[in-house]
Structure formats: structure tokens, C-alpha cells
């Protein structure tokens, strides 16, 4: 591949240079004829070299394809999911399991070179056509008017039959209009020509010979050389039994093969299409017939294998070529309709293209989303944590470039123009909404201590949105948050987060958490839950719904685990940031109402406890000490009958105190 890569780069540079010279020539008036002829001749030689490169590279792919088909994979790798049904189609052994990662990369790179060179040459069709026609015209006229003229005067002077063929060749293809002498045709006959007129001077014109003229010239050369015997030993030009000198025979042979190539040069667009046609990589009808199946899985299709390799490898050098394998479908569809004339083959290709493109858009969005989310998570990760790790390099994201993909607005597949940028934008908006919904649902399955992790993940998601919004026209992040929180109404002051926070405070936090005044933290009581809420496990989301890469996800989960066992100032900052000024007053109002309802419900319980108290208690004797006094008090009080009420009152007082301290933490944060 190193040689092919060097050939590609060298030819691209020289072709671009030749094109610049052509543009300069067209923009200049009265250019020198010799200079103009050199530039156009250089353009012709460059085009010929391009055709030769394309032919050689396409031949390499043909050879590799034939080699793979003749040597299928003997032992395909078996994954865990394939243990029960470890049977493979013959086509899978030939294609799916027969290409290594390096071979897929090389094949993809070579296909990209073929398509890029072909497209570059095809785009300049109208610009180079005049130069090609003029060069071909000059080659033909130089041979017909000069070299054939010399042969007529020397070698074939006394050979009437052969000289007649040469005269027919001149009559058929000589362009006397370009001759500067403008003499009558009779003046150019063999016997009337003077010494001064033997070398014709003509100006090349952009008038190429027709295909019929070229075929007639080839036929006349064959007739001249073979003498009517096309099966003579040694080949057409390998035997001089016709009596033609070796020098003249070499000139005829050279011109004969040039004529063969002129046909391809004149049909410029069709030749490029033929040389860049790689549709044979898709066809597998023989294996469908031998395997007795309607169609193979999409994983067995070579074009999709190459696309999937780019996505899975995430090679920065291949990402811009991710759509090149899809051009194989265009080639195979063109071949099915134009050459094979089989509509059912086209229908199969069309169905596979629909599936492949849907999978491409889906996987491409996931790769883009994962990359930018990993970048956002890496940016927001505490630098002190990264520096403290021995392997902190794993938290840095390898740079990838998606700029070229974001600019693709016109992708031609099977004659249809697809706006890939628009499809990526639509899918990206959907991914953001799905991610927000997953994070909110995950928070709803946990307790109030998970609010810090929710705030971290939403911050990462917001920075991801900002990064992608530089390239795509995404919906507003605040709009998506409001939509997923069901908080779009102007008069709605509640949301999914605020409802979940209040529900957790009412059912779990206030009943089950106790205050540690020293650390200003609420911790879960070790004596068991008073009103334990039944929780179900949250669904496991896709990896890119967290922090992008696995390493970053584990790092953030480790950091979030530090805040899982208590509720304090960091959690209150997260609550304030998540609720904002719109929903926070609703929480305070609900908390005050909760305190009021607790006080109201506690009044009759306190009255009931008062009945268990004695009417009066006198001064106790100190003879028994503190223990004796305490024993006397317990004997006087009759708490046993009111023990349940006592527990409820104390718990209500604890909830009221926790609510008041929660609001004091809120005051500190605000």
C-alpha cells in the first residue's frame, strides 16, 4: 500500500498542476502554438497515466477478490452468542471471516484512491476534452500526412496494391483543412508531389476522428501488414513476410495500438466509469444458489463490512472515507440494470442499501455522540483526580474529525440525493432526548442522595450539546430539558425533577435520615426505615448515556459514590442548580405545608401524652441519687399505654427539625 499511496499522491499533484496549466492557457489570448501544444500534450499524457493507474488498481482488487474466493476461511471465529449454532454459510467463509482488519483497511483505502482519482478526472471532463481531441488529431494527422507520405514515396512506391491501401488511409482520415498549404487533393498525389511539399505543415484542431474512422484505420493496417492472412505465425506484427521494412512495421504497430487507446480516450466518461466500477464486490448469486437461501445477513455484505470497520475501528484517517464503500452499491446497481438487465437484482441491492444506510446513520450518530460526550466528561473531570492517577492518560480522548461528515448535504445513492447532515441532526436530537429521559428515570429509581450524580451527568450532557451545536443545528438544550421534564407550560412550576425530589423527601428523606450537626450532613438511620419505600432496579442504559467511554464512566461513578451515603451542602448545590428559580419555590411551599400538617396532626397526640403525666410532681428526695430519682419518675409516669403515640410524636418532631435544617442548608447555599 505504500507504493500505491505514493503513486496516488504523486499523480494527484501532477494532475492538479496540469489542470492549472490548462486553465492558464484558456485564460490567455494569443498563446504560443508550441507552448499550447506542449501543455495539451502533457494533459493527454497525464490522462493516459491516470487510466493506467485506475486499471492497475482495479486489477489488484480483482486479483485479491479472486484469491479470497478460491481460498475461503477454514475456521471462522466463534463468539459466545454463536456457541449453540456454530454453522456458517460458504459465503461467510469467503467474505465475512476471510478479511483481516489490515486487509479491510487496505481495501477501503484502495477503493478510496480509485474513486477519488476517477471523480477528480471526471469533474474536468469538459475542460480537458478539447486538449484530448486536439492531441489525438495531431497524432493521427502526423502519421497520415507525414509518415504515410514518406512510406508512399519510398517503401511502397512500386507496390501498387499496398500503396492503394495507404492512399485509402490518407483519404479516409487526412484533415487537409488544417494544412497550411491549402492545396487541392490532386497536388498531394504520389507522382505530382514536389520536394518542397513533402513535409506538410498543419495546425492541430480539436476535431478527433470518429470511432468508425479509427476502426477503418485499424482494419486497413491489418490488411496492409497481414496481406489477407490474419493467422500467420508470429502474430500480426511478428513476421515481415509481407516485405515491409522493420522500421515501417514498427511505426504501423505503434500507431495501431495508439488507435486502440484513442477509443477509450475519446469516450472519456464511459472509460472512467468502467475503470472505477467495483460492483463485482457485491454480487453473490452463486453462493445464494448453493446455500439455498433467499439472502445473506447484512454482516456478510462486503460494502457494509467496510463501513462497519470504519465505525468500529474509529480510525481518524478513515472516517472521512466512511461513505466510499456505499458507492459500491451504485456500481452494482448500474451493472445489474445496464449490463445484466435484471430488475430483481436491483431490488435486492435497493433493499440492502436502505438497511445499510439506516444502520450507518444510527451507528454514526452513536460514534459522534460518544466522542463528544467523552470530550465533555474529560473536560469536566477534576484535574487533581487525573494527576493523582498513575494511568491518568486513559481519561484523555483521542481526537477525531467529523467536520467532513457534517458538511455532507448531498449524498448520491442509487440516483437519490440524501441530506446526510439533516438525518444526523434529527437522530442527534432524538439521542439527546433519550439520554435526558434515561437520566431522569435513573434518578427516579434512586434516593435523594443521587442528585449530585444527576447534576454531573446533566452538566456533561449540556457541554456535549454545546460542542455538537457548533456543527449541527440542534434544538435548544433548555427546550429539550423542559420537554423531557414535562415543564413546557408557562404556568407550570413543577417538573419531573422537582416532583421526584419532593416525593423522596416526603417518603424517604425526612422519615429515614437523621442529622449530624457536626458535619452538617443528613445520614440514613441505622435503626431501620420508618416508612421504607419499595425500590426497583433502574434499567441499564447504553454506555454512551453515561460519560461516553468506559474509563470515564467508572471515574465519575467512583466520584458520585462519595456522595451516595449522605445529604449535605454538595447535594443542596445540585438541587438549587437543577430546580432553578422556577421550581425551587414550589419545593419550599410544599415543605412548609408539610411542616404545618405535621404540627396539626401532632397536637392531639401531644394532648394524649399529657394524660399520661401525673397531676403534680413534688421535689424528690436526693437520698437515692440520680439513679434513684430517675427510677421514681419512671414509676410515676405511665408511658406504657401511650408508647406508640410517644414514638409517633418524637418522629414527627424529628421530621419537623429535619425540614427546618434542610431549609437552613438551602439558605446557606443561596
Q: Is 481 exposed, middle or buried (0-12, 13-18, 19+ CB in 10 A)?
A: buried
pLDDT recorded at residue 241: 52
pLDDT at 85 over 80: no
- pLDDT computed for residue 308 by the predictor: 92
Q: Please check whether residue 48 is in contact with residue 139, taking contact to mean a CB–CB distance below 8 angstroms.
A: no
Q: Please, are residues 282 and 302 in contact by the beta-carbon 8 Å criterion?
A: yes
Over the stretch 501-527, which tens digit does the pLDDT of each residue have? 988 888 888 888 988 888 889 998 887
Confidence at residue 197, expressed as pLDDT on a 0 to 100 scale: 46
* Cβ-based neighbour number of residue 648 at 10 Å: 16
Look at 10-14, 49-53, 169-173, 521-525 and tell me which has the smallest mean pLDDT: 169-173
pLDDT for 201 = 62
In 3-state terms the chain splits into helix, strand, coil percentages (rounded to 5) of: 70, 5, 30
- How many Å apart are CA 281 and CA 115, to the nearest integer? 14
pLDDT at 236: 56
524: helix, strand or coil: strand
pLDDT of residue 187: 44
Average pLDDT, the chain: 83
Sheet strands side by side (includes 566-567): 513-516, 521-524, 566-567
Mean pLDDT of all residues in 139-165? 79
Neighbours of 461 (CB within 10 A): 23
Q: Is the pLDDT reported for residue 151 higher than 70?
A: yes
pLDDT category at 87 given cuts 50, 70, 90 is low
Residue 325's nearest CA partner among 124, 53, 69, 114 is 114
For 275, counting Cβ atoms within 10 Å of its Cβ (0-12 exposed, 13-18 middle, 19+ buried), the class is: buried
Three-class SS state of 472: coil
How many CB atoms are closer than 10 A to CB 520? 15
pLDDT top residue among 656 and 154 = 656
Q: Which of 228, 226, 227, 255 is nearest to 238 (CA)?
A: 226
Helix runs in 86-158, H state only: 90-91, 101-123, 125-141, 148-153
For 273, other C-beta atoms within 10 Å of its C-beta total 15
pLDDT, position 235: 52
Could you tell me what percent of the chain has a pLDDT over 90? 29
Contact 484, 433 (CB under 8 A): yes
The CA distance from 131 to 46, in Å, is 11
- Residue 315: pLDDT band with limits 50, 70, 90: confident
User: Which pTM does this prediction carry?
Assistant: 0.81
| Number of C-beta neighbours around residue 667 at 10 A | 9
66 or 157: whose pLDDT is higher?
66
Q: Is 600 exposed, middle or buried (0-12, 13-18, 19+ CB in 10 A)?
A: exposed
Banded pLDDT at 48 (limits 50, 70, 90): very high
pLDDT of residue 490: 60
Could you give the count of Cα atoms lying within 13 Å of 622 in the half-sphere of its Cβ?
A: 0
Q: Which of 278-292, 420-434, 445-459, 639-653 has the lowest mean pLDDT?
A: 639-653
pLDDT at residue 393, as a whole number:
77
565-591 average pLDDT score: 89
Percentage of the chain surpassing pLDDT 70? 86
Retrieve residue 131's grid coordinates: 486538449
CB 406 within 8 A of CB 424: yes
CB distance 221 to 252 below 8 Å? yes
Asked whether residue 486 carries a pLDDT value surpassing 60, the answer given is: yes
Phi–psi pair at 197, nearest 5 degrees: -100, 10
With bands split at pLDDT 50, 70 and 90, how would you rate the model's confidence at 4?
very high
Q: What's residue 184's pLDDT?
A: 46
Has residue 444 got a pLDDT over 70?
A: yes
Closest to 434 (Cα-Cα) out of 545, 297, 551: 545
> 639 pLDDT band (50/70/90 cuts)?
low
Q: Please give, one letter per residue, the 3-state secondary structure of 6-38.
A: HHHHHHHHHHHHHHHHHHHHHHCCCCCHHHHHH
More confident residue, 80 or 209: 209
Q: Is 179 helix (H, G, I), strand (E, B) or coil?
A: strand
The pair phi, psi for residue 286, each rounded to 5°, is -60, -45
pLDDT, residue 193, reads: 46
How confident is the model over 270-312, as pLDDT tens digits? 999 999 999 999 888 787 777 787 888 888 889 999 999 999 8
Which residues have C-beta within 8 Å of that of residue 306, sequence separation ≥ 6?
A: 104, 107, 108, 111, 324, 325
Query: Per mean pLDDT, which range of 154-168, 182-196, 370-384 is the poorest?
Result: 182-196
Contact 444, 500 (CB under 8 A): yes
User: Is pLDDT at 430 greater than 50 in this prediction?
Assistant: yes
Separation CA 301–CA 375 (nearest Å):
33
Give pLDDT, residue 375: 92
Rounded CA gap, 639 and 636, in Å? 9
- Is residue 333 predicted with pLDDT exceeding 90? yes
290 vs 136: which has the higher pLDDT: 136
Amino acid at each position: 500500500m505504500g507504493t500505491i499511496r505514493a503513486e496516488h499522491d504523486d499523480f494527484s499533484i501532477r494532475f492538479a498542476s496540469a489542470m492549472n496549466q490548462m486553465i492558464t492557457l484558456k485564460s490567455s489570448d494569443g498563446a504560443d502554438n508550441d507552448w499550447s501544444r506542449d501543455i495539451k500534450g502533457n494533459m493527454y499524457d497525464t490522462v493516459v497515466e491516470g487510466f493506467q493507474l485506475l486499471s492497475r488498481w482495479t486489477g489488484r482488487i480483482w486479483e485479491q477478490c479472486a484469491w479470497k474466493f478460491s481460498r475461503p476461511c477454514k475456521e471462522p471465529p466463534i463468539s459466545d452468542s454463536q456457541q449453540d449454532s456454530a454453522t456458517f454459510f460458504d459465503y461467510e467463509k469467503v467474505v465475512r471471516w476471510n478479511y483481516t482488519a489490515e486487509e479491510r483497511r487496505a481495501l477501503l483505502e484502495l477503493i478510496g484512491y480509485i474513486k477519488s482519482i476517477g471523480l477528480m478526472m471526471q469533474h474536468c471532463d469538459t475542460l480537458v476534452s478539447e486538449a484530448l481531441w486536439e492531441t489525438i488529431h495531431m497524432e493521427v494527422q502526423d502519421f497520415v500526412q507525414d509518415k504515410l507520405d514518406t512510406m508512399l514515396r519510398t517503401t511502397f512506391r512500386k507496390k501498387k496494391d499496398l500503396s492503394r491501401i495507404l492512399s485509402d488511409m490518407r483519404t479516409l482520415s487526412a484533415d487537409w483543412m488544417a494544412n497550411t498549404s491549402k492545396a487541392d487533393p490532386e497536388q498531394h498525389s504520389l507522382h505530382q508531389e514536389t520536394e518542397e511539399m513533402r513535409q506538410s505543415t498543419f495546425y492541430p484542431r480539436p476535431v478527433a476522428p470518429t470511432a468508425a474512422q479509427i476502426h477503418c484505420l485499424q482494419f486497413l493496417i491489418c490488411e496492409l501488414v497481414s496481406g489477407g492472412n490474419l493467422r500467420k505465425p508470429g502474430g500480426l506484427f511478428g513476421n515481415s513476410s509481407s516485405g515491409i521494412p522493420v522500421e515501417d512495421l514498427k511505426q504501423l504497430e505503434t500507431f495501431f495500438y495508439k488507435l486502440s487507446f484513442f477509443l477509450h480516450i475519446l469516450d472519456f466518461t464511459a472509460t472512467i466509469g468502467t475503470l472505477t466500477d467495483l460492483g463485482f464486490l457485491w454480487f453473490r448469486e452463486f453462493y445464494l444458489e448453493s446455500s439455498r437461501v433467499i439472502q445473506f445477513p447484512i454482516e456478510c455484505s462486503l460494502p457494509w463490512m467496510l463501513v462497519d470497520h470504519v465505525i468500529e475501528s474509529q480510525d481518524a484517517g478513515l472516517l472521512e472515507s466512511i461513505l466510499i464503500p456505499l458507492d459500491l452499491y451504485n456500481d452494482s446497481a448500474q451493472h445489474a440494470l445496464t449490463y445484466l438487465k435484471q430488475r430483481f437484482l436491483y431490488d435486492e441491492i435497493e433493499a440492502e442499501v436502505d438497511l445499510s444506510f439506516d444502520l450507518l446513520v444510527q451507528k454514526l450518530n452513536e460514534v459522534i455522540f460518544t466522542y463528544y460526550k467523552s470530550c465533555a466528561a474529560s473536560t469536566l473531570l477534576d484535574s487533581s483526580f487525573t494527576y493523582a492517577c498513575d494511568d491518568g492518560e486513559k481519561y484523555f480522548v483521542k481526537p477525531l474529525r467529523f467536520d467532513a461528515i457534517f458538511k455532507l448535504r448531498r449524498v448520491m445513492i442509487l440516483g437519490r440525493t440524501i441530506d446526510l447532515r439533516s438525518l444526523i441532526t434529527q437522530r442527534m436530537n432524538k439521542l439527546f432526548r433519550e439520554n435526558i429521559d434515561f437520566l431522569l428515570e435513573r434518578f427516579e429509581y434512586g434516593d435523594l442522595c443521587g442528585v449530585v450524580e444527576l447534576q454531573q451527568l446533566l452538566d456533561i450532557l449540556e457541554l456535549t450539546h454545546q460542542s455538537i451545536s457548533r456543527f449541527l443545528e440542534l434544538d435548544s438544550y433548555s427546550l429539550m430539558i423542559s420537554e423531557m421534564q414535562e415543564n413546557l407550560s408557562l404556568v407550570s412550576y413543577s417538573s419531573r425533577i422537582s416532583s421526584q425530589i419532593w416525593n423522596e423527601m416526603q417518603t424517604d428523606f425526612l422519615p429515614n435520615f437523621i442529622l449530624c450537626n457536626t458535619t452538617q450532613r443528613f445520614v440514613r438511620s441505622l435503626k431501620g426505615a420508618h416508612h421504607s419505600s419499595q425500590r426497583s432496579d433502574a434499567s441499564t442504559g447504553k454506555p454512551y448515556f453515561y460519560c461516553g467511554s468506559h474509563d470515564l464512566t467508572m471515574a465519575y461513578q467512583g466520584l458520585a459514590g462519595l456522595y451516595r451515603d449522605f445529604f449535605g451542602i454538595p447535594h443542596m448545590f445540585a438541587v438549587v442548580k437543577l430546580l432553578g428559580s422556577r421550581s425551587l419555590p414550589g419545593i419550599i411551599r410544599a415543605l412548609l405545608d408539610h411542616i404545618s400538617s405535621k404540627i396539626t396532626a401532632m397536637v392531639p397526640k401531644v394532648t394524649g401524652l399529657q394524660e399520661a403525666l401525673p397531676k403534680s410532681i413534688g421535689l424528690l428526695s436526693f437520698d437515692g441519687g440520680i439513679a434513684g430519682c430517675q427510677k421514681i419518675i419512671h414509676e410515676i409516669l405511665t408511658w406504657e399505654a401511650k408508647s406508640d403515640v410517644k414514638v409517633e410524636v418524637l418522629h414527627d418532631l424529628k421530621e419537623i427539625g429535619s425540614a427546618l435544617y434542610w431549609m437552613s442548608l438551602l439558605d446557606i447555599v443561596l
